[in-house]
Amino acid sequence: MEAYADHPARHRVRWLARFALLWAVGIGARLLFLQAFSHEEFRDLARQQQTKLRQLAAPRGSIFDRAGRILALSVPVETVIVNPLQLPDRPLAAQLLARTLEIDEAKLRDRLETYANARKGYMVVDKGVSVEKADRLRQLGVDWIGFESNGVRRYPDGALAAHVLGGVDHQARGNAGIERHFEDDLGGYPGYEWVVSDVQRRSFDSSIEKAPQAGRDVVLTIDRRIQYAADEAIREAVASSMADSGTAVALDPNTGEILALSNYPTYDPNEVPKSTADYVARKNLAATDPFEPGSIFKVFGLAAALETTDIRPDTVLHCGNGTINVGGHIIGEAHGGFAYLTVEEIIAKSSNVGAVKIALKTGDKNLHDYLLRFGFNQTTGVEMPSESQGLIFRLKRWQPGSIGSVAIGHEVLTTSLQLARGLAAIANNGFLIRPHLTRARPLGEVTLRNVVYQPEQNEQPRRILRPETAMTLRKVMESVVLTGTGKGIRLDGYSCGGKTGTAKLFDKTIGKYVSRYNASFMGFAPVTNPAVVVVVTLNGTRQYGATAAGPAFKQITQTALRVLNVPQDLTDPAPAAEPVPERIVADVAVTSTPLKTPEAMQQEMEAEQGPATAIAVGPKLPNFVGKTARAVLDEAMQAGIRVDIEGSGIARVQDPPAGGRLASGQHVKVRFQP
């Protein structure tokens, strides 16, 4: 038995040992492959199935008026979520949640079943839940309810300044007005967290990938009290003049600060638009809807004449007894006809023939130049989306009769905002200012940190008129309210000047101008050193400019002067309003058939300038497809692009595609799939 030294059995045991060792070496090689060489691949696979990227909402910035009064703010609300796979008793859970949240129990129960059957571990029960209700659920102390806090946008003053503020969409992103223009600043940057969850999607750990960055605040130049007066005035004016819509713009001619901007119909930005009418009401007419201004435009023609010809206010012109033929195009008066009128009287009485004669003396080129100087045919650059630049035809395209039409405010399209800017140059002794809506900081004691303000570079107001021209124009415009078409539009304690305008509306269905008007009044006060410029326009009324828009102008200007604390320059109260005969007020710009219909002009304008939509800006989009969520986020953060992430895994689809650009406030959607 001891003669075993090279017994075959020992030999076979050695073979067994070698075989086992070989097996172990194989296992070792496999371990090396898994843990050393392919470690990263498996780490990513593990992370992919264990972790989900969840967005953390950034608190949205607030919007204040010029005095620091709040106009828009985000109120914290909570989203209630459950894990349907984890519910101990689904019908009971549905009952509990439905009662507390006051939602439909049967529907909730169905949804819970559907989610549970689909093996989904994350279900939003209700959004926008008040903190109180969420706290009531929290007090139940059950572990299957989850909460996510986010904010809902609130506008405490309802419809006040609705078109300035704009509104937010269901994802709390600005979709109009200031909310849209400053979306990137107001919205802040959402944060992201990795949530680690088990196979049943219960999360047990999370790590912040990037903390949310709160949105910045915006301080508006709007004054809440003036805005209120404007909103009220324009609402009343639309009602009393039976107009379709109306706008009012009040601005400080020296700084360009917009004190109030009002449109009617208006809307409550707290509400979600439900009907077409709701969407129509959201249109910011003052900035986006150009129209034929009519007689108020004569002022700008006179400015050109004063600067380029020897015409002075006391120059006497023969007003053709009612008609004039310009290049085969007959232009008449609103009411009767005039023989000899001074230039001042032409403006005061709003003589069409007189205005055309002034324009003829000025000439096509000078008139065209000056209109451009006043900033027509270009956007004002106000901080609102989709601003229209109106239309002044290039000189080459003026026909022989064009000058007649332009002189009385036809064949041109302007927005209320452009008119206000033009008038501001007359009010501030000749400087073209940029109307704007934001301030670096609020007035008074209020201090706000983190305020958005983007002053234009090299914002030196450009001189476009000689000071004496501006002063002369103001004198002429004062006579409009003293003796002319605006007679009766007087302020308590303040002198004022202005110009009425009544442009016939063109009915495209019958192809003619009809007796419905775009009735406007634009004016300033006080005359010597105007503190405020107000433009009021009523669209679709049958009343003349002074009648329809005059009272609103008075109301808005009076409020603005009081709020701005402007010293009074008149001791007398305004004379009691007395009925003004229609023949005095009448100032309709009368042309026969139009050379260019407003519709045709709109089309040409859009053809030349492109439709008034959001302009794509921002960096070129990189290609995200095929990358992991982490890589996409890193890249997007570096490029300053916002990403909406859907699903998990590898990026499969992106919208807009690589190479495209984002419109302001737009996000890239990236869908991930494992």
Partner 1 sequence: MAQRLKTDWFLFWTVISLAFFGLVIIFSASLPKTELMHISQFYFMAKQAALIGVGVVCLMGLKRLDYRKLNRPEWAFGLMGVMLTMLVAVYFLDSHHHRWIRVPGFQLQPSELAKPALAIFLAWFVTRRISAINSRYTLGPAALVIGVLAVLVLAGDMGTMAVLMITVAAVFYVAGISPRYAAMALAALMVIGVVGIAAKPYRLRRVVHFVDPSYELLDKADASGRVKAWLENSMSTRDPNYQARQSVIAVGSGGLFGLGLMHGKQKMLYVPEAHTDFIYSVIGEELGLFGCAGVLTAFMVILWRGLRLFWMAPDDFGKYLALAVTVCFTVQALINISVVLDLGPTKGIPLPLISYGGTSMLSSLVSLGLLLSVSERAG
Q: Which residue ranges make up the site for partner 1 (CB under 8 A)?
A: 1, 4, 8-10, 12-13, 16-17, 20-21, 23-24, 26-28, 30-32, 34-36, 38-39, 41-43, 45-47, 49-50, 196-200, 204
Three-class secondary structure of residue 112 per DSSP = helix
* Least separation in angstroms between CB 56 and partner 1: 22
* Least separation in angstroms between CB 86 and partner 1: 10
* Least separation in angstroms between CB 90 and partner 1: 18
Distance CA 334, CA 463 (A): 35
Q: Which CB, 117 or 457, lies closer to partner 1?
A: 117
Q: Which CB, 3 or 106, lies closer to partner 1?
A: 3
Strands 438-439 and 497-507: unpaired
193 in Cβ contact with 208 (< 8 Å): yes
Three-class secondary structure of residue 71 per DSSP = strand
Q: Which CB, 33 or 340, lies closer to partner 1?
A: 33
Q: Which CB, 3 or 36, lies closer to partner 1?
A: 36
Neighbouring C-alpha atoms within 13 Å toward the C-beta of 527: 22
* Least separation in angstroms between CB 76 and partner 1: 32
Helical pair 467-482 and 298-308, crossing angle rounded to 10 deg: 140
Q: Which CB, 34 or 514, lies closer to partner 1?
A: 34
Strands 191-197 and 51-56: antiparallel
* Least separation in angstroms between CB 205 and partner 1: 8
Q: Which of 229, 226, 230, 228 is nearest to 247 (CA)?
A: 230
* Least separation in angstroms between CB 610 and partner 1: 53
Distance CA 559, CA 224 (A): 11
Give the DSSP letter string of 322-348.
TEEEETTEEEE-SSS-BSEEEHHHHHH
* Least separation in angstroms between CB 452 and partner 1: 42
Q: Which CB, 8 or 581, lies closer to partner 1?
A: 8
| CA distances for 259 relative to 289, 449, 550, 559, angstroms | 20, 22, 19, 11
R_g over Cα of the chain: 34
Q: Which CB, 32 or 514, lies closer to partner 1?
A: 32
Listed in sequence order, the residues at least 6 apart from 327 whose beta carbon sits closer than 8 Å to its beta carbon are: 399, 400, 401, 402, 403, 404
Distance CA 489, CA 361 (A): 31
Distance CA 353, CA 321 (A): 8
Q: Which CB, 29 or 316, lies closer to partner 1?
A: 29
Listed in sequence order, the residues at least 6 apart from 112 whose beta carbon sits closer than 8 Å to its beta carbon are: 82, 84, 87, 90, 93, 94, 123
* Least separation in angstroms between CB 44 and partner 1: 8
495 in Cβ contact with 526 (< 8 Å): yes
HEC sequence for 444-490: CCCCCCCEECCCCCCCCCEECCCHHHHHHHHHHHHHHHHCCCCCCCC
* Least separation in angstroms between CB 16 and partner 1: 6
- Strand partners of residue 55: 192
Phi, psi for residue 298 in degrees, rounded to 5: -60, -30
* Least separation in angstroms between CB 80 and partner 1: 24
* Least separation in angstroms between CB 88 and partner 1: 11
Q: Which CB, 204 or 447, lies closer to partner 1?
A: 204
Q: Which CB, 179 or 209, lies closer to partner 1?
A: 209
Lookup result for tokens 């989009």: 621
Distance CA 379, CA 390 (A): 8
* Least separation in angstroms between CB 194 and partner 1: 12
Q: Which CB, 10 or 136, lies closer to partner 1?
A: 10
In this structure, the number of other CB atoms found within 10 A of the CB of residue 288 comes to 17
* Least separation in angstroms between CB 125 and partner 1: 23
